[in-house]
A and B are shown apart, each in its own frame.
Chain A
Amino acid sequence: MNAPVLRTSMRGAIEIYDVVKVFEVRGVCVPAVDHCSFSIRAGEICMIVGPSGCGKTTLLNAIAGFHGIDSGSITLDGTLLCGPSQLVAPTGSDRIVVFQNGALFPWKTNLDNVAFGPIVQKKLSKKEAHEKGSQLLAQAGLSGYEHKYPGELSSGLQRRVEIVRALMNDPAVLLLDEPYRALDALSKSVMHEALLEIYYRTGVTIFFITHDLEEAIFLGHRVVVMTSRPCRPKESFTIDIPHPRRYEVLTSRRFRELAAEISAAVNEEAMKSFTLGEREG
């Protein structure tokens, strides 16, 4: 397959080094992330897979700056986000999170939602932000929805608006926390292709947490399987299916081989977390 020239971002390289995060729950220390080290290349789609409650979101929140770490360090493009000298990363528009259940502002129209970042940062005037916003919404197949409220859209379209809102901030990395979890299988497949389309256009680095193995393999350059709590990379798989990918990939032999290989690793951790859960309950 002769791949077209794809744009790849030069920004968004993340280095996670020996990160530890412990939560105290009713006087008992529960390690959520334990000596976790791995890195993400600029322009890479890195899929993080692991049993639920294993601490993947803790890692994402540490990168986003929503809470601190206890030791270790995280750098973005060589700049220290958090480390021994500052345990909480500053929040910043270079790392935008798209949440599981969405975090669009219900009282703003889709266009106002999308224009929010550049306006509050005074990067663009309201008019410019609206122009750019309409343009990006149209590119994402959302023209006609500019002046509707998020509550008037299906959850699939809401997620799309939210990704457009994230891109408006020109982030170095998109942090996606199971954004398509609540969607049905059909909407999911549409969303996957739409996300890849956006990726092919922007090349933005993507850090994507999911439970869904098929989603992970279809989208990612790499799938990192995490251990059950405490969370640390167990195994990293390079997905050697060439981009751009279309939905036919799902039925290819290589896809099934990878799925078998990765699901063995995932199952092992899922069983561990399952028995762990039994003992706790």
Chain B
Amino acid sequence: MTNAPVAETSGGLTSNGRAGWPSGLGFDRSARRAAVAILMALIFWHLGSTSRQWLGTSLPLIGSVPAPDAVVRAWIHLLSDPGYWQSWLWSTVRVALGFAAATTAGMPFGLALAANARFRSTVFPVFELLRPIPPLAWVPASIIFWPTQELSIAFVIFLGGFYTIVLNVVGGAEAIDTRLIQAARSMGASHWIIFRRLILPGVLPSIGVGMEVAIGITWEVVVAAEMISGGGSGGEASSGGGLGFFIWNSYVGGAYPDIIVGMISIGIAGYLSSAMTRRAVAYLTPWKKRV
């Protein structure tokens, strides 16, 4: 999963239409297609969840899902509930902090791995041993290590983003053409200038890809971490809960439509943060814009 984006950036500087919509007529067409697909999914959902009424017996799995109209009604009700928005806020803050920590730690770490062979041969094996451990497997250990619930959640989120960003930085740094370095050297650039003006902008696109992947993982992790840890301080849904705890709490309280609301909310949150990350990366790497 982490290698594919690296390969994509090292493929060349001719940026492709990976991000964003195709222009002109294509936008309308693909937007229409998306709308039709979402509508069909809603119809399927509706028919499935109401199968008991029109079929006499409820279909397996989907038959026990709350119907879309129940979810919409629950959602409208929740929109005026400060607890729901608090959950959004808490999860967003956690994701933002964990992601920021993963990026700020992962970038120099990845650059050091790429730049220094001795550091790499010492540290990389340990890194590779730890990497396959899923962030969620860290939850119990993390609760023991860290003094507060909040810190242990933050740590697990951090792990979720860290590995992806490090690997992409290393891959990006290795993909930089040695001839660029040679050219800069022969024009009298110092080590610092080569680092600052060549290596850093050179890895930026791969860092961007790593960030895009990492923010998605971060959302996956935050929700699970909130469920397992009981939603942070006190365990009240209205205080430190977060969307993960919101879902869990709805399940425990039997408010099944709220579960679906929570799930869709996370989908929206993940989509928005990926889109924002993509925008930020595109802004920082203007030379990759489409010709």
Report which A residues bind B (CB closer than 8 A). Answer: 64-66, 91-93, 95-97, 99, 101, 103, 105-108, 116-117, 120-121, 149, 151-152, 165, 169
Contact = CB atoms under 8 A, between A and B. Distances in A.
B186 A151 contact: no
Contact of A120 (B179, B189, B291): B189
Contact of A91 (B14, B186, B204, B291): B186
Interface bin, chain B: 20 to 34
Contacts of B32: none
Lowest 9 A-B CB distances belong to which pairs?
A117-B187, A107-B201, A103-B183, A121-B188, A103-B179, A149-B287, A91-B185, A91-B186, A106-B13
A101 B179 CA distance: 9
A92 B186 CA distance: 5
Residue in B14, B189, B193 whose Cβ sees the most chain A Cβ within 10 Å: B189
Interface string B156-196: 00000000000000000000010110111111111001000
B11 to A, nearest CB: 13
A169 B180 contact: no
Nearest to B192: A120
A64 B187 contact: no
Contact of A99 (B13, B183, B185, B187): B183
B204 A120 contact: no
Contacts of A92: 186, 188
Contacts of B198: 105
Contacts of B288: 151
Contacts of A96: 186-187
A103 B177 contact: yes
A107 B202 contact: yes
Contact of B182 (A66, A106, A120): A66
11 contacts: A64-B182, A66-B182, A96-B187, A101-B179, A105-B180, A105-B201, A116-B197, A117-B187, A117-B188, A120-B197, A149-B287
B287 A107 contact: yes
Interface of B: 13-14, 177, 179-180, 182-190, 193, 197-198, 201-202, 204, 285-288, 291
A215 B86 CA distance: 71
B34 to A, nearest CB: 31
Given A92-B186, A103-B183, A107-B202, 16 more contacts: A64-B186, A66-B182, A91-B182, A91-B186, A97-B183, A105-B184, A105-B201, A106-B13, A107-B287, A108-B287, A116-B184, A120-B184, A120-B189, A120-B197, A149-B287, A169-B188
Contacts of A101: 179
Contacts of B188: 91-93, 117, 120-121, 169
Nearest to B180: A103
A103 B182 contact: yes
A148 B190 CA distance: 26
Contacts of B197: 105, 108, 116, 120
B186 A65 contact: yes
B179 A151 contact: no
A169 B287 contact: no
A66 B186 CA distance: 9
Contacts of B204: 107
Residue in B180, B186, B202, B288 whose Cβ sees the most chain A Cβ within 10 Å: B186
Nearest to B291: A152
